[in-house]
């Protein structure tokens, strides 16, 4: 394991934890980050919009996309999730609004930037909310290869080139009684990614950097992880409301890192058992660490599990990609700082040649 590292005097600059560690956030442009990530000069350019969530109204404030240059002075990667809500290319073949937004990011970000894009839910959701009653219905475009490749993947690669680090393919939570069997669920994905490879001439895991985030715990079983390993596609270790802890996901995976690209993605999104709206309201306006999370046993476990997964990845010559959301901690930059501090300490122990079993250690029975 390579333990080279450099230091930064800015506690929010987490780029130098380790050459193979990629720390970033899930979304950016939060005005609450002015003073930590963004300079005060952006304050006069802040725009705002109203959002209703969980019966409450919030005034969201954003800095311009041009702030991406300063973002990448602190982080090595960025997850963009607006691509989740609609494809880049409209059904009639014309570039949509998301295409223009991604183009603006491509122009603003430096050459060393690394983006992880969320694939459109229109492709990966088995059911979508729609109709006059806003009830959930079967998605007619589920695992639509043409929509994925032509409507999303090809234009994303055209705009970002080598700066496209990977694609996060998220599937919504499903109750067990509404779900397919683990075998049929896996078989559908196997067919889909095989057809994607045929359509693009590129390996879905190694070349395109596809990672699957399955939010239904009952589907995280051996057939799924066996197929991921054979296909070379990564499992996203997500810290999210209804998923088991990252440590438990590691055990369910058979302690395997499955991406042929030799990277593992972990997304820290919400505290466990805390719904989205509740986590959002607690964290808003995303400008400080929430002590009730940071000092809780579950909050400490989230940090330790993330660090432990990162160390396991480094031991197996795999790059950890850590994507952090404000809702998980109150402020994603504060969470990044906390994880970076712990990782640096652990890497120091390894570089000093100590072999003490530390509380962050995930079990490894692969040897």
Domains annotated for the chain, with CATH where assigned, are: 22-351 (3.20.20.410)
Computed on alpha carbons and rounded to an integer, the radius of gyration of the chain in Å comes to: 20
Residues with Cβ within 8 Å of residue 296, at least 6 apart in sequence: none
pLDDT tier, 4 (very low <50, low <70, confident <90, very high otherwise) = very low
Report the alpha-carbon distance of residue 219 to residue 104 in Å, rounded.
37
245 within 8 A of 239, measured Cβ to Cβ: yes
From the centroid of its chain, how far is CA 340?
17
Cβ pair 262, 238 in contact under 8 A:
no
CB-based contact 121:85 (threshold 8 Å): yes
Is residue 293 predicted with pLDDT exceeding 70?
A: yes
Residue 153's pLDDT is 98
Residue 5 confidence class, pLDDT cut points 50, 70, 90: very low
* Dist CA 24 CA 75 (whole Å): 5
Query: Which pLDDT belongs to residue 348?
Result: 81
Mean pLDDT across the chain: 93
Residue 127: pLDDT above 90? yes
CB 316 within 8 A of CB 17: no
Residues 46 and 35 sit within 8 Å (Cβ to Cβ): no
Alpha carbon distance, N-terminus to C-terminus of the chain: 16
**pLDDT band at residue 362, thresholds of 50, 70 and 90?**
low
pLDDT tens track for 130-146 = 755 567 899 999 999 99
Token readout for 267 is: 């997304």
Q: What integer pLDDT is reported at residue 131 of this predicted model? A: 58
The percent of residues above 90 in pLDDT, for the chain, comes to 88
Q: What is the mean pLDDT of residues 249-259?
A: 97
Token pair, residue 17, equals 């934890």
Write down the pLDDT at residue 352: 62
Is the pLDDT assigned to residue 366 strictly greater than 80?
Answer: no
| Predicted pLDDT at 354 | 43
Please report which helix (H) or strand (E) contains residue 349, including its range.
helix 332-351
Burial 309-340 (b: 16+ CB within 10 A, else e): bbbbbbeeebbbbbbbbbbbbbbbbbbbbbbb
* Whether pLDDT at 2 is above 80: no
User: How does pLDDT run across 172-214, given as a tens digit for each residue?
Assistant: 999 999 899 989 999 999 999 999 999 999 999 999 999 999 9
Count of all residues that appear for the chain in the document:
367
Mean of pLDDT values over 289-311:
97
pLDDT over threshold 70, residue 355: no
Q: Which residues pair with 239 in a beta bridge?
A: 268
d(CA 212, CA 265): 9
Q: How confident is the model at residue 367 (pLDDT cuts 50, 70, 90)?
A: very low
Looking up tokens 């196997």 gives 190
Could you give the percent of the chain with pLDDT greater than 70? 92
Q: Mean pLDDT across the stretch 342-349?
A: 90
- Which string of b and e fits 57-73 if b means at least 16 CB within 10 Å? ebebbbbebebbebbbe
């Amino acid at each position: 394991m390579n333990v080279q590292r450099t230091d930064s005097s800015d506690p929010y600059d987490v780029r130098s934890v380790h050459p193979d560690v990629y720390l970033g956030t899930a979304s950016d442009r939060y005005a609450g980050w002015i003073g930590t990530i963004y300079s005060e000069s952006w304050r006069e350019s802040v725009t705002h919009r109203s959002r209703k969530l969980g019966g409450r109204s919030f005034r969201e404030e954003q800095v311009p996309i041009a702030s991406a240059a300063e973002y990448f002075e602190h982080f090595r990667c960025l997850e963009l999730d607006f691509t989740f809500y609609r494809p880049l290319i409209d059904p009639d073949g014309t570039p949509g609004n998301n295409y223009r937004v991604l183009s603006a990011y491509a122009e603003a970000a430096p050459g060393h930037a690394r983006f992880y894009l969320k694939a459109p839910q229109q492709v990966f959701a088995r059911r979508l909310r729609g109709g006059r009653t806003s009830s959930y219905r079967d998605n007619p475009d589920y695992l639509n290869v043409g929509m994925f490749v032509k409507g999303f993947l090809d234009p994303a690669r055209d705009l970002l080139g080598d700066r496209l680090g990977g694609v996060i393919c998220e599937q919504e939570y499903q109750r067990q009684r509404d779900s397919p069997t683990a075998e049929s669920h896996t078989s559908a994905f196997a067919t889909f990614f095989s057809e994607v490879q045929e359509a693009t001439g590129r390996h879905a895991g190694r070349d395109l950097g596809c990672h699957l985030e399955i939010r239904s715990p009952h589907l995280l079983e051996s057939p799924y992880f066996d197929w991921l390993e054979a296909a070379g596609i990564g499992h996203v270790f997500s810290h999210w409301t209804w998923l088991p802890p990252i440590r438990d996901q590691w055990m369910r995976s058979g302690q395997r890192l499955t991406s042929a690209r030799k990277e593992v993605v972990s997304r820290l999104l919400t505290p466990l058992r805390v719904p989205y709206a509740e986590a959002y309201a607690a964290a808003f306006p995303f400008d400080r660490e929430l002590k009730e999370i940071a000092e809780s046993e579950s909050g400490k476990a989230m940090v330790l599990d993330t660090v432990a997964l990162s160390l396991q990845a480094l031991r197996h010559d795999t790059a950890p990609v850590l994507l952090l959301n404000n809702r998980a901690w109150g402020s994603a930059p504060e969470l990044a700082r906390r994880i970076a501090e712990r990782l640096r300490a652990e890497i120091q122990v390894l570089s000093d040649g100590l072999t003490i079993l530390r509380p962050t250690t995930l079990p490894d029975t692969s040897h």
